[in-house]
């Protein structure tokens, strides 16, 4: 049984078609942006180095190997979820970025029968989530009794989700009637009204695959559905963190590489960097690596990729940090389809808990799918009008297409360039409606020295504010605390100290 957390969301009872999301084309955008940045931003009331609250993942109560009902199909196990620098957490109506997101739902038909308009709205919102994109979901009114009537003359889909406000014999009686009209192999999920373990056990005995109680959230419904089709033999999947620049030259690659280094060194987490800027990638230069093979080889032979071949293609930067370097040559046109990028990225995610994608500044089908499919998206911008416009476009796209995910994070880079007119940080973020996760001052000597030496800033300026900022960003995104420094060995003079 899933005890549900209370929600303050007020969902409307309507069914909206899935939107075709894309960048907004506004001819007067520049004028409106200039007007927006003149507005005074509200004062921030959060701790500059605070953290987001932990995600409240619902808990499932498992019955002890119940006998499946012959009409509802076998039960399947669910996988366990795996000053100069300013860092501000941003509120989120979606899941926190440290929470384990549910897996994707396979290509199946799902019928959802709802009694309450609030449940129907949640079901509609869940059906438009990116993890439900392959499934065909239909929402019907009427609840469990309507489902019994509907399937008198209709075949049942692979999954039926029904809501019922009954808590006793009425629920069980209607459930038996539903079993009589269900096709073999159909899975049934009940949205009930009582948080009752005895009822839950009785439902499990009758072959019900899952029992949920309101108030219901879209991600909880998605998690319940995806858990029914999770493959226990599927490989581990790491967290995918995508870095993208609002425009060229904002330092998105530098931020991504130093962030990954902080994950591996400060947090002691195994991390993989994937440089997807195939013709102009700089990850090899930044880490002083020149591997024979890299991400282009993986993209050219996705069907041959296995753990052994992936390991050979990765360059080992440190004990915990590996790199899929870009070829950074113009010998090829790199005409690679979006499905190949999806396939290769999914296989790379099985190699480490964190996979950092260094994305190029371009817009294409695979870029769009990669951003929408990432667990976390971090936009790197500089405080100018072009970055403001492009950041707003990307934030609007991601918020609209990923309503159940954590919103994108913003990193403002190269702030305080002498003699350069800049939009103040307060006005920049007010126009976007988010607080920056990190603000990095312009430090050309520190970053230039690191780039020329093929090092990270943590290796060249350990006491700099930028190093502190990257470590904080790594903690903010990963929801992990920095590893304690090794204790110094105490001197043995006390044993031999002369009196």
Name the percent of the chain lying above pLDDT 70: 75
Contacts with 334 (C-beta within 8 Å, 6 or more apart), sequence order? 278, 279, 296
Q: Is the peptide bond before 26 cis (omega within 30 degrees of 0)?
A: no
Residues 246 and 201 in one domain: no
Residues 139 and 179 in one domain: yes
Give the mean pLDDT of 91-118: 70
Give the mean pLDDT of 328-338: 91
DSSP 135-160: SEEEEEESHHHHHHHHTTSS---SEE
Among the ranges given (100-104, 242-246, 438-442, 470-474), the one the predictor scored with the smallest mean pLDDT: 100-104
- What is the DSSP-derived secondary structure letter of residue 251? -
Residues 321 and 407 in one domain: yes
Q: Report if residue 397 sits inside a domain.
A: yes
Contacts with 171 (C-beta within 8 Å, 6 or more apart), sequence order? 144, 164, 190, 192, 199
Residues 424, 421: Cα–Cα separation, whole Å? 9
Residues 345 and 245 in one domain: yes
Residue bearing the bigger pLDDT, 267 or 33? 267
Taking a C-beta distance cutoff of 8 angstroms, is the pair 118, 13 a contact? yes
Domains contained in the chain, number: 2
Residues 338, 165: Cα–Cα separation, whole Å? 44
Taking a C-beta distance cutoff of 8 angstroms, is the pair 315, 322 a contact? yes
Q: What is the length of the chain? A: 499
Measured in whole angstroms, the distance separating CA 416 from the mean position of its chain's CA atoms is 31
pTM higher than the cut 0.75: no
Q: Report if residue 48 sits inside a domain.
A: no
Give the mean pLDDT of 275-292: 94
Q: Report if residue 33 sits inside a domain.
A: no
pLDDT at 214: 84
**421, two tokens:** 């007119």
Residues 302 and 418 in one domain: yes
Strand order in the sheet with 187-191: 136-141, 109-114, 159-163, 187-191, 210-212
Name the percent of the chain lying above pLDDT 90: 59
Taking a C-beta distance cutoff of 8 angstroms, is the pair 37, 88 a contact? no
Cβ-in-10-Å burial (0-12, 13-18, 19+) of 456 comes to: buried
Contacts with 191 (C-beta within 8 Å, 6 or more apart), sequence order? 114, 119, 161, 162, 163, 164, 212, 213, 214, 216
Contacts with 176 (C-beta within 8 Å, 6 or more apart), sequence order? 206
Residues 338 and 223 in one domain: no
Domain span at 113: 104-229
Which CATH number is 179's domain given? 3.40.50.2300
pLDDT at 252: 97
Give the mean pLDDT of 263-284: 94
**417, two tokens:** 């360039």
Residues 363 and 465 in one domain: yes
Q: Report if residue 449 sits inside a domain.
A: yes
pLDDT over 90 (residue 178): yes
């Amino acid at each position: 049984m899933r005890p549900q957390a209370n929600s303050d969301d007020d969902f409307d009872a309507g069914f909206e078609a899935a939107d075709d999301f894309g960048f907004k084309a506004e001819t007067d955008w520049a004028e409106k942006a200039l007007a927006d940045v003149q507005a005074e931003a509200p004062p921030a009331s959060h701790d500059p180095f605070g953290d987001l609250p932990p995600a409240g993942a619902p808990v499932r109560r498992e019955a002890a190997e119940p006998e499946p009902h012959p009409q509802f199909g076998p039960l399947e196990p669910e996988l366990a979820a795996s000053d100069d620098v300013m860092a501000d957490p941003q509120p989120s109506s979606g899941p926190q970025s440290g929470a384990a997101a549910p897996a994707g739902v396979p290509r199946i038909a799902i019928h959802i029968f709802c009694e309450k308009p609030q449940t129907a709205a949640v079901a509609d919102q869940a059906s438009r989530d990116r993890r439900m994109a392959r499934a065909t979901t239909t929402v019907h009114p009427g609840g469990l009794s309507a489902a019994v009537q509907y399937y008198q003359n209709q075949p049942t889909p692979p999954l039926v989700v029904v809501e019922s406000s009954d808590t006793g014999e009425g629920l069980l009686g209607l459930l038996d009637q539903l079993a009589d009209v269900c096709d073999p192999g159909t899975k049934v999920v009940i949205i009930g009204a009582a948080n009752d373990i005895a009822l839950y056990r009785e439902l499990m005995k009758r072959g019900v695959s899952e029992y949920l109680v309101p108030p219901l959230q879209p991600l909880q419904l998605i998690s319940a559905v995806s858990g029914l089709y999770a493959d226990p033999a599927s490989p581990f999947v790491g967290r995918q963190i995508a870095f993208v620049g609002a425009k060229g030259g904002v330092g998105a690659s530098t931020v991504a590489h130093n962030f990954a280094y902080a994950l591996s060194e400060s947090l002691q987490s195994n991390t993989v960097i994937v440089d997807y800027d195939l013709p102009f990638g700089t990850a090899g230069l930044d880490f002083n690596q020149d591997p024979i093979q890299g991400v282009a080889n993986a993209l050219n032979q996705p069907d041959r990729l296995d753990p052994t071949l992936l390991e050979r293609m990765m360059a080992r930067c440190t004990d915990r940090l590996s790199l899929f370097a870009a070829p950074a040559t113009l010998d090829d046109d790199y005409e690679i389809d979006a499905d190949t990028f999806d396939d290769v990225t999914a296989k790379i995610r099985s190699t480490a808990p964190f996979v950092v994608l260094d994305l190029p500044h371009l817009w294409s089908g695979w870029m769009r799918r990669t951003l929408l499919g990432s667990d976390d998206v971090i936009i790197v911008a500089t405080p100018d009008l072009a970055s403001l416009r492009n950041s707003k476009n990307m934030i609007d796209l991601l918020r609209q297409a990923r309503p159940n995910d954590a919103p994108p994070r913003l990193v403002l880079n190269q702030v305080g360039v002498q003699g350069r007119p800049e939009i103040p940080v307060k006005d920049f973020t007010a126009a976007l409606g988010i607080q920056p996760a990190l603000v990095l001052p312009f430090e050309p000597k520190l970053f230039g020295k690191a780039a020329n030496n093929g090092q990270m800033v943590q290796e060249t300026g350990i006491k700099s504010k930028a190093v502190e900022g990257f470590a904080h960003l790594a903690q903010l995104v990963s929801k992990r605390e920095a590893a304690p420094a090794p204790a110094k060995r105490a001197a043995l003079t006390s044993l031999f100290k002369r009196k």
